[in-house]
Amino acid sequence: MKRIWMCALLVSVVFCFTIACKHEPFQAVPTVNTNDTTTNQPVDTSICFERDILPIFLSNCAMGGCHNAASHQEGYILDGYNNIMNTGDNDGIKPFDANGSDIYESLVEDDIDKRMPQGMPPLPQAQIALIKRWINEGAQNGTNCVVLCDTNNITYNTGIKPILQQNCVGCHNSTLANDGVNLTTFTGVTSVVQDGRLLGSIKHQSGFSFMPQGASKLSDCKIRQVEKWIAAGALEN
């Protein structure tokens, strides 16, 4: 009798194991996980280096006299993934540890003389938070990022301002207005809309300086968004 029970136990244990070990297909952490309520398209909420992080460095740090290859202040060259990861004393970016990363620290530094970008207002909170999240998620090098594109209903505040904020204002603000172009105010933006220099420069048309300087051309989608917003009257909407 005892043997029968042992046997039954063994059978059920083996049975349970077989069930438990029936492998679920490995599920990567979903990166596309919400739906855009307006278009019903999936929205990519993951961070992708080339799309979300690199433009911040290129437009706020990797300028001549600051942290491009030629100037490399304090040894920091911030013009691409490899340089950003292996720059300065190598504590610039410590994957998974934003607070231990000197580059992140410099953005949130209390001492205004040490805070980066030097002599400028701090980066917008949203950009600082993005850099923090990118580091804490492992500071991966994302390339060939999905580019989400909605060229309908582009407004200044939700469409155009973020593009300028991410790609341009580091070199075009009230302190540093290259070519007299200040893209932090609506008036400043309007003046380059009206003289055609905004579109000419981002579309890389001949006769204009190609913008954003030192970085790749904006995506076709972003250029189209700017174009459509201008065609609709370039309103401060």
Kindly list the residues in this chain that would bind ligand HEC in the complex (CB under 6 A): 59, 63, 167-168, 170-172, 178-179, 181, 192, 197-198, 201-202, 208-209, 211-214, 218
Residue 36: CB minimum distance to ligand HEC, A: 24
Contact assessment for residue 94 and residue 100, using Cβ atoms and an 8 Å cutoff: yes
Residue 109: CB minimum distance to ligand HEC, A: 22
> Based on CB atoms, which residue is closest to ligand HEC, 115 or 172?
172
> Based on CB atoms, which residue is closest to ligand HEC, 162 or 214?
214
Residue 160: CB minimum distance to ligand HEC, A: 10
Nearest-angstrom CA–CA distance, 120 and 76: 18
> Based on CB atoms, which residue is closest to ligand HEC, 84 or 181?
181
Residue 94: CB minimum distance to ligand HEC, A: 26
> Based on CB atoms, which residue is closest to ligand HEC, 190 or 213?
213
Sign of the Cα pseudo-torsion (189, 50, 221, 29, in order): negative
Contact assessment for residue 168 and residue 183, using Cβ atoms and an 8 Å cutoff: yes
Nearest-angstrom CA–CA distance, 93 and 105: 10
CA atoms within 13 A on the CB side of 168: 28
Residues 6+ away with beta carbon under 8 Å from 14: none
Residue 178: CB minimum distance to ligand HEC, A: 3
> Based on CB atoms, which residue is closest to ligand HEC, 93 or 183?
183
Residue 186 token pair: 């609506």
Residue 199 token pair: 């579109």
